[in-house]
Amino acid sequence: MSYRSWQAMNLSNDTMSNPSQVPEQKDPLSSLYKMSRTAGLGSHEYVAVNPTAVVALLLGLASGLAVLGTVMLVVPVAAVIVAFLAILQVRHSAGTQTGKGLAILGLLLAVGFVLLVGGQAIVHAREVEREKGQILSLIDSLGKNIVSSNYEAAYGQFGPRFHSAVTQPVFVNTWTQNQSNPSYGHIKGMRSNGIVDLDPEDILAYTNILIELPGGLDRRLAILRKIPEQGWVIEDLQGYFPTAPTAPAAAQPQ
């Protein structure tokens, strides 16, 4: 018996007599990478983007067109509706769709532009009311000057264009004759009817003046012009001074 055979037999006998000395053999598959059993579940890599959310974002961006006119407010209104619809669709998609952030962004853009247009409208309305207040105050002051026969002060409330066509003596003489004319009568009061046609971006305004006479009311169209140095002045009181410059008929309120 060779030495190697004898050594192998002894080793086998030792192993059988003492099993704890048997070398542990590794599983050849234990070194392989173990994947999680939940791998791929709940991953957003393949979640679809909700197309309605994309449309909501595009409409939100297009809501800037609302600054061009109130007619274009239909765009942000549509954006708000589509955004809410997209949010509901994503919420009920059981995690298969995304895009809620896009819908919310479109919603915020639409609301922001609506607030911007609304703020501009409020500023414009306040400016119009302020200008109307100045015009009504001017007409009221003119009426007081005419009633008290303070024609020089009344003449100063008319503008340079009127002064270039009607001199102060002609102005005073015209009112004096009207006041003493029995067929016309002494003026008891003068006021605006409260309706002023103007645009703050324009320099012209129109209002009807009601002149109180013993026999009733005389209605005359007053044309006013805004001058940077003076503010609002009276351009003409139609019918009293035929030689005064008048606005084109197309520009006068009906």
Q: What is the tens place of the pLDDT at every residue in 18-75?
A: 555 545 555 554 554 454 444 444 444 568 999 999 999 999 999 888 888 888 889 9
Compute CA distances 245 → 97, 151, 204, 248, whole Å: 70, 20, 13, 10
Closest CA to 136 of 190, 194, 187, 189: 194
Query: Which of 6-10, 37-41, 118-122 is least confident?
Result: 37-41
Query: Which of 78-82, 136-140, 194-198 is least confident?
Result: 194-198
Predicted confidence band at 106 (pLDDT cuts at 50, 70, 90)?
very high
Strands of 1-139, DSSP E: 48-49, 97-98
pTM value surpassing 0.75? no
Letter for the amino acid at 88?
Answer: L
Chain mean position to CA 239: 42
Predicted confidence band at 251 (pLDDT cuts at 50, 70, 90)?
very low
Q: Position of tokens 């009607």?
A: 166
- CA angle at 199 for the pair 196 and 204, rounded to the nearest 5°: 75
What is the mean predicted confidence (pLDDT) over 184-213? 85
Q: Is the pLDDT of residue 185 over 80?
A: no
